[in-house]
Amino acid sequence: MRIRSSAQHPRAWRYYDFVLAAMVTLILCTNLIGPAKVVTVTVPLLGALTFGAGNLFFPFSYLLDDVLTEVYGYAGSRRAIWAGFVAMIFATFMSWTIIAMPPSPTEPFNQQLQPALEIAFGEIGRITVASLAAYWVGDFANSFVMAKMKIWTQGRWLWTRTVGSTIVGEGLDSITFFPIAFYGVWTGQTMFEVIAFNWAMKVAVEVIATPFTYWIVGVLKRAENVDTYDTKTDFNPFTLRDEGEHRPYRQAESD
């Protein structure tokens, strides 16, 4: 179905670009700032939990993906996913280029800086490919399930689709990333345990953040006066056409 009025065209949306920028920033930060750091945190009742530091913030990218799909539709989320994907590729290329350039021998600080850059930003090869593949597969699956479940539930029970889409998206993310990155390095038992723990942790973050998701979705729907249903959307990830049905916002539909 075509967009009903020019006021509801994506170019007229006031806050879409801000949400897109937040998602891309989060994707870049979680992939560049300490993704290899392993931390151990003691949690009451559960004891000591060990996990990759990047997993603490990465689930919020799925939260933003849910918000984009719920408010602006699959097409709005699709644009953000591609923006994040291209940004990750450029960040990887930039990191590789800067590290590969020969440091000046006349600058003593380079003796400390070059090894530090190689440790912090030199993570290329299998892990980079794994990150890109997992992000692309997981986020598109999350958005697809979110959009389809909104149609099935007729816009009700937002929590069912935010959690349901995260279960699918984060699951595909984990079973894509870890085998590509660590197959032949970890044992099968270790691989299974890490995948299961990371999947459960990411889904738990989504569940805990559900009240915040409700709040930000409500704020954006009221501000944009839009509630999108992907009833006739082309879910091909390689097109950027906006075919969502953008309806005027009614609060009851998101209960």
- 11-238 has CATH 3.40.50 classification: no
In three-state secondary structure terms, 35 is coil
**Confidence check: pLDDT of 137 > 90:** yes
The answer, yes or no, to whether residue 9 has pLDDT greater than 60, is no
Q: How far apart are CA 68 and CA 224, in angstroms?
A: 12
3-state class of 51 per DSSP?
Answer: strand
Tell me the sheet residues that pair with 41.
Answer: 49
* DSSP SS3 for 34: coil
pLDDT tens-digit readout, 75-113: 999 999 999 999 999 988 998 899 999 999 888 898 899
Q: Where are the domains of the chain?
A: 11-238
How much is the pTM? 0.87
The residue behind tokens 């984009």 is 68
Could you give the CA distance from residue 51 to residue 122 in angstroms, rounded to a whole number? 21
pLDDT recorded at residue 53: 74
3-state helix, strand, coil in the chain (%, to 5): 65, 10, 25
